[in-house]
A and B are shown apart, each in its own frame.
Chain A
Amino acid sequence: MKLHEAEARELLFRAGLPVPDADVATTAAGARAIAERLFASGVAQVVIKAQVLVGGRGKAGGVKLAGSAEEAESTAATILALTIKDLPVRRVLVAPASTIIREIYLAALIDRTTRGVLVMASAAGGMEIEEVAAKDPTAIVREVAHPHGGLLPFQARRLGFGIGLRGELLKQFCVIATGLVKIARESDADLVEVNPLAVVPAPDLPGGERLICLDAKVTFDDSALDRHPDLAAWRDADSEDPIDREAREQGISYIRLDGSIGCMVNGAGLAMTTLDLVTRAGGTPANFLDIGGGARADKVAAAMRIILADAGVKAILVNIFGGITRGDEVAKGLIEARAQQERIVPMVVRIVGTNAAEAAVLLREGGFETAASLDEAAEKAVALAAAGGGK
């Protein structure tokens, strides 16, 4: 689950890390009120940022400066009317515009290779870390946090020295780096990224500079959301497609694609393979769908509803290799689903493994088109889709 910038900022703020004095508005008048407060506190300019979960919002006109409360109101109105990459802008973040001296990159993330929480820092902030890695891999310094103790003080110092920080800024950096790892561990985030971590003027501090987390990206581990009801409540249900929500609530792993062959499979690897073979046979998959292990008839029927909600689906391929999942349960679910559904779409069913013989009887009685091998099933589905005007 990805967080919006506003909630990511809130998470950092709660952890005591330096973030802009910002707030969220859903209306232009609300944005004006925040801007008025900021201007009254001595801010010279505010920035208004669309809260959408896609990259490139700046280029799409979703991030704009304003020099007065009136301008903030009209700018917010414009941004709130935008749709960025199919996502309507429902909220804006209003923050003081900062004078940036330079930008740093800092992130804590779950890393497969080191099998730990990896902390990465780079003096080249502001751009995507992949770009930095491609241009100059030596510009990124790394530490793997202690598996039980988090980022240890010497590790934080090594990172800070590694990107050329000294004195007051180094101290602040260590607090922030340690804090990001703490946030990741305590809130079960698999990514906490601050980019940019900005060096801004601070006339009252020795050295005259300080660090502030200007923008942050946080994603939570979906497997751990149950134990963080407060964080799960931040899920942006508005921008979640209703079909995606039904799939999530049913425990079905579903990803909509733009082809014409709906796929229902048990197991993620086999589901990916089914898409590959449909593509290889000249067809286009309409979705990835994994009903999971041990699915019963009602879950199969729900999966069928989800697939058929996509009007682009011209044929359906059901591919089940029974292990924990029982083939006859799947067959019953398919029969049940067909009795309920309004739209009839040609279907090819392949069920092997546990209780495949019982499934075969049910499918034959139900008049379903079947296939013995996965390759054959893919070819039949492609032919059925083509006959129905899809491909």
Chain B
Amino acid sequence: MSILVDQHTRLVVQGLTGREGGFHAGQMAAYGTKIVAGVTPGRGGELGLDGTVPVFDTVREAVEKTAANTSCIFVPAAGAADAIAEAAASGIKTIFCITEGIPVHDMVGALAVVQQHGARLIGPNCPGATTPGLNGLGAKIGIIPASIHLPGDVGVVSRSGTLTYEAVQSMTDAGIGQSTCLGIGGDPIIGTTFRDALELFAADPATRALVLIGEIGGSAEEEAAAWAGEHLKHLPRVAFIAGRAAPEGRRMGHAGAIVSGASGRAIDKIAALEAAGFKVAASPTELPRLLIEAGYTKR
């Protein structure tokens, strides 16, 4: 099993006819993801992905005609929040938004629509999620390179993109496979938090250990740690926090990655995670060793 994405995923790609959307849809399909529709307003009736996938003008139509249940959004930033709201209002229950640079006030409005319809948003500004599988039997949504994965039973959740690849690659190199790898995004306002992700992993019998990759800014890692300390005592858990060396008051690339005053510091996040029973790595390459030390055994 896994979380959020698997063989039952019927994916609609919003922005399929764009350069990024088209390229990554091809990668997703090659990995085993079932892509059933594309949506680009004004391009309804065309076929995307080498003529194999119907394109619709609206998400509603895509859902009606193809029973799509999950969306992946590659729409440019100016229209991405609206695309999120459209997906939620059209009955899509799991929405991944890859787009970076969405105005934050747009996200406030879009997230309210998502909540109103009882949907779940992952991102924005996130790499997506992969449930690894061999020989075209995996499923991935978003832009995480397929090559870094190994099927297995360790859940990975991260706020970052390439840093996640680094961590997952080091696990794969050590022969430690993943149940699902999830990137939740580096923006200040995101749909699915660390804590939400941990709750999903906790309910997944196939996940037998957890890796959390956080960074400076906000207090989402501390909130997740507090929850994990109470509810995840049975799972080996390790973490890495980026930004120990970051100066105060400077936004480190991600809109959400900033230490302001005494809030959002790496040192406090590490302390909170350690207090909650996480082993915290000083480098992503230490994660496999720490997993074993935390009691994880390879199957």
Listed in ascending order, the chain A residues whose CB lies under 8 Å from chain B are 110, 112-113, 115-117, 130, 147-148, 184-185, 188, 190, 221-224, 226-227, 253, 255, 257, 265-273, 275-280, 285, 288, 290, 293, 321-324, 352-354, 373-375
CB proximity of A117 to chain B, nearest CB, Å: 6
Contacts A255-B252, A323-B143 hold; do A223 and B104 have CB atoms under 8 A apart? yes
Q: Are B189 and A112 in contact (CB under 8 A)?
A: yes
A272-B215, A280-B283 known; A116 and B108 CB under 8 Å? yes
Decide yes or no whether B145 CB sits under 8 A from chain A.
yes
- Tell whether A323 pairs with B283 under 8 Å between CB atoms, given A188-B105, A255-B250: no
Question: Which of B37-45, B53-61, B157-165 contacts its partner?
Answer: B157-165
Could you mark each residue 119-160 of chain B with 1 if its beta carbon is under 8 Å from any beta carbon of chain A, else 0? 000000001000000000000000111011000000000111
* A268 partner residues in chain B, CB cutoff 8 A: 160, 186, 215, 252-254, 257
Are B104 and A272 interface neighbours, CB within 8 A?
no
Whether B105 contacts A110 by the Cβ 8 Å rule is yes
Knowing that A113-B218, A221-B105, A267-B160 are A-B contacts, what are 6 other residue pairs whose CB atoms are under 8 Å apart, sorted by A's residue number? A117-B108, A223-B104, A269-B254, A276-B245, A288-B250, A321-B165
Say yes or no: A273 contacts B105, CB within 8 Å. Answer: no
Determine whether the beta carbon of B162 is less than 8 Å from that of A323. yes
Measured between beta carbons, the chain B residues less than 8 angstroms from A226 are 78
**27 CB-based A-B contacts, threshold 8 Å:** A110-B108, A110-B188, A130-B261, A188-B103, A188-B105, A224-B104, A224-B105, A226-B78, A257-B247, A268-B215, A269-B160, A269-B186, A269-B213, A270-B162, A270-B166, A271-B252, A273-B242, A273-B283, A276-B245, A277-B283, A280-B282, A288-B253, A321-B162, A322-B145, A323-B162, A353-B147, A375-B283
Which residues of B197-225 are within 8 A (CB) of A? 213, 215-216, 218-220
**What chain A residues lie within 8 Å of B186 (beta carbons)?**
268-269
- Complex Cα gap A112–B218 (Å): 7
- Asked whether B243 is an interface residue with its Cβ less than 8 Å from the other chain, the reply is yes
Find chain B residues with CB under 8 A from A184 CB: 105
Distance from B260 Cβ to chain A, minimum over Cβ atoms (Å): 9
Contacts of B290 in A (CB 8 A): none
Report the nearest A residue to B173, measured CB to CB: A373
Q: In the complex, what residues of B have CB within 8 A of residue A188's CB?
A: 103-105
**Contact of B160 with A270 in the complex, beta carbons under 8 Å:** yes
Query: Does the CB pair A224–B108 fall under 8 Å?
Result: no
Q: Is B169 an interface residue (CB 8 A)?
A: yes
Q: What residues of A have a CB within 8 angstroms of the CB of B144 in the complex?
A: 323
> Is B239 an interface position by the 8 A CB rule?
no
A residues in contact with B100, CB < 8 Å: 293
Q: How far is the CA of A163 from the CA of B81 in the complex (A)?
A: 35
Query: Which chain B residues lie closer than 8 Å to A185 at the CB level?
Result: 105
Partner of B257, one of A190, A272, A277: A272
Decide yes or no: A147 and B161 within 8 Å by CB, A224-B103, A269-B186 being known contacts.
no
Pick from A273, A276, A280, A290 the residue with the most CB of B within 10 Å.
Answer: A273
Is B109 an interface residue, CB under 8 A from the partner?
yes
Q: Scoring B residues 85 to 104 as 1 if CB is less than 8 Å from chain A, else 0, what string do you get?
A: 00000000000000011111
A147 touches B109 (CB 8 A): yes
User: Per a CB cutoff under 8 Å, which of B103, B165, B189 touches A353?
Assistant: B165
- The yes or no answer to B177 lying at the interface (CB within 8 A) is no
Contact A147 B111 (CB under 8 A): yes
| Residue in contact with B255 in the complex, picked from A223, A265, A271, A273, CB distance below 8 Å | A223
**What A residues does B109 contact at CB under 8 A?**
147-148
What residues of A have a CB within 8 angstroms of the CB of B166 in the complex? 270, 273, 321, 374
Q: Does B244 count as interface, using CB distance less than 8 angstroms?
A: yes
Please, how many angstroms separate the alpha-carbon atoms of A272 and B266 in the complex? Answer: 11
Output the residue of A223, A279, A373 with the most chain B CB within 10 A. Answer: A223
Instruction: Report yes or no: B284 in contact with A273, Cβ–Cβ below 8 A.
Output: yes
B contact residues around A323 at 8 Å (CB): 127, 143-145, 161-162, 165
Give the residues in chain A near B159, CB-CB below 8 Å.
269
Question: Which residues of chain A come closer than 8 Å to B148, judged between CB atoms?
Answer: 353
Given A188-B103, A321-B165, A323-B143: A269 touches B189 (CB 8 Å cut-off): no
A269 and B105 in contact (CB under 8 A), knowing A279-B245, A280-B283, A374-B166? no
The smallest C-beta distance from B227 to any residue of chain A, in angstroms, reads: 14
List, in ascending order, chain A residues with CB within 8 A of B219's CB: 112-113
Q: How far is the CA of A276 from the CA of B169 in the complex (A)?
A: 19
Contacts of A148 in B (CB 8 A): 109, 112
B243 touches A276 (CB 8 A): yes
B292 at the interface (CB under 8 A from A): no
A293 close to B216 (CB less than 8 A): no
Residue with the greatest number of chain B CB neighbours at <10 A, chosen from A226, A269, A278, A374 = A269
Q: Give the residues in chain A near B169, CB-CB below 8 Å.
A: 321, 352
Query: Is B30 an interface position by the 8 A CB rule?
Result: no
B103 touches A276 (CB 8 A): no
A375 and B285 contact, Cβ closer than 8 Å, known pairs A115-B111, A269-B242: yes
- B218, chain A: closest CB distance, angstroms: 5
Known: A147-B108, A323-B144. A273 touches B250 (CB 8 A): no
